[in-house]
Amino acid sequence: RSATPSGPAFVVTDDQAAEDFDKIAEQRRQAKRAALLAKTMKRKEDFASKVDQIEQRNAEKRLAEMAKREMAEQRKLEKELQRQKILDDYKRRKMEKELGLESGSNSARSPPGRGHSQPPFIRTKSQMSESAMGSDGSDKPRPPRARGQSTVEQRISVSSLQEPTHKLFAKAVPKSNRGLIINALQYSVFPGAVNDSTRSKTMNDLAASDAKHFLILFRDYKCQYRGLYSWDQVSDTAVKISGQGPSKCTESIMKLMFK
């Protein structure tokens, strides 16, 4: 016989109620675990979003800095080109001035009445003897010609004694024009850095030639470069050194080109 307790007491004897209690506790634990997992995922997503935003801002900054550098380089290049253009223009004007002075001095040294546009006219011996004699066949000198009298009689062309009358013709001089041709190629025909390769090739071909006189052939009034030639004074023939023009220019070709 067992002794009964002296105070009140509760005894759970329902197994179903205990099992329900365990299920409820497990559900609560799973809910807390899911909430913690969701919170962790949200933090990761927020962190990745912030990282993407920072990278995008950095990329935009890099693009802006790159655009600034490109603009600065473009402005620097434009300034260099402008400076080079001004320098080339100055050298071209200086060379044109020097060529003008030299051509003026050559024309001043040439005999009067020998212009480039008209061929020379020479009086024959018979005309000289007629001018020395009177109209009646006597040996008396003829009176001087009146001032208003026509000078057509004095302009009798002698084809065998004519000098070349082509356009751009200059009287032959013993001094070589290599220096003038070099300046013309550098500052007028091939100016700037764009024509470096063509200018270098032409200058090398010029240096390789041992000729004394040179000519530059242009296509038309726009002065489109066609070729560099060496001129032989004996045969009066221009032989191509460099360029795309004819390999040889004779007197007939010159008359055809320069009218």
Vertex 226: Cα angle to 221 and 228 (nearest 5):
120
What is Dmax (Cα atoms) for the chain? 199
CA distance 175 to 154: 34
Predicted local confidence at residue 16, as pLDDT? 67
Predicted local confidence at residue 4, as pLDDT? 53
- SS3 of residue 224 by DSSP: coil
CB 242, CB 206: distance < 8 Å? yes
pTM of this prediction exceeds 0.75: no
* Sequence-separated contacts (24+) of 137-144 with Cβ below 8 Å: none
Predicted local confidence at residue 247, as pLDDT? 87
b/e map of 84-106 (b: 16 or more CB within 10 Å)? Answer: eeeebeeebeebeeeeeeeeeee
CB 242, CB 227: distance < 8 Å? yes
CA distance 164 to 119: 8
Which helix (H) or strand (E) covers residue 205, if one does?
helix 196-208
Across the chain, which has 259 residues, the per-10-residue mean pLDDT values are 53 64 86 92 91 91 91 91 91 85 60 46 46 47 48 43 48 77 88 86 90 84 83 85 86 69
Predicted local confidence at residue 122, as pLDDT? 45
Q: Which token pair is 166?
A: 């082509």
Cα-based distances in Å from 124 to 121, 132, 155: 10, 13, 11
Query: Which class would CATH give 163-259?
Result: alpha beta
Domain ranges of the chain: 15-109, 121-142+150-161, 163-259
Predicted local confidence at residue 96, as pLDDT? 86
Length of the chain in terms of residues written = 259
The DSSP call for residue 65 is H
Predicted local confidence at residue 65, as pLDDT? 92
Q: Express the helix, strand and coil content of the chain in percent, nearest 5 each.
A: 55, 10, 35
